[in-house]
Amino acid sequence: MINETTGYVICRTARKIHQHMTNSLAQFDITPEQWVVLQIVAEEADLSQQKLAERLEKDKNSTKALVDRLIKKGLLKRQRSADDKRLYQLKATGSGLALADKIAPLDSTFMQEGEGNVTGEELSMFMQTLRKLEKNITQNITAATRQ
């Protein structure tokens, strides 16, 4: 049955997490996708937009649109790299850092509640398995695009 396949269960769970995060983040006028970008930029100093796109596994245009929305909200800023004038580095603004500090505990609490009665060992094994699945799928996609 389709609803018992690995892909279906992963997608259904991810959709529920996304729905919850969408509802929780609405009070901050930020989407889950924007939250991920803000969190990454807040954590990593001098991150280029290109590196961000690679981290997100998104194309440059989608990443630019996300960054532009966060800049418009005053949460990020884009500045030229001191080392390479062709590159722009992303930085979280004071407002962006403050918002990240406010949201991070909510995100963490939600995931801890979701993990509930799952032991540390079970969670570790689950993460190892998910990473193996991701690696296998990535290899299959890469092989298919070479053909």
Q: Across the 147 residues of the chain, what is the mean pLDDT of every consecutive 10-residue run?
A: 88 94 96 97 89 94 96 94 82 96 93 91 95 91 78
Sheet containing strand 47-48, edge to edge, reads 47-48, 88-92, 76-80
Contact (CB, 8 A) for 76 and 67:
yes
Give the three-class secondary structure for 76: strand
Number of other residues whose CB lies within 10 A of the CB of residue 41: 27
pLDDT on residue 75 = 97
- Predicted local confidence at residue 30, as pLDDT: 97
End-to-end CA distance of the chain: 31
Which pLDDT belongs to residue 18?
Answer: 95
User: What residues form DSSP beta bridges with 90?
Assistant: 47, 78
Please tell me the distance from the alpha carbon of residue 43 to that of residue 34, in angstroms, as a whole number: 14
pLDDT at 80: 84
Q: Quick one: pLDDT at residue 84?
A: 78
Q: What is the pLDDT of residue 62?
A: 95
Question: What pTM value is reported for the model?
Answer: 0.85
pLDDT value at residue 126:
94
pLDDT at position 143: 78
Q: What is the pLDDT of residue 21?
A: 94
Q: What is the pLDDT of residue 2?
A: 80
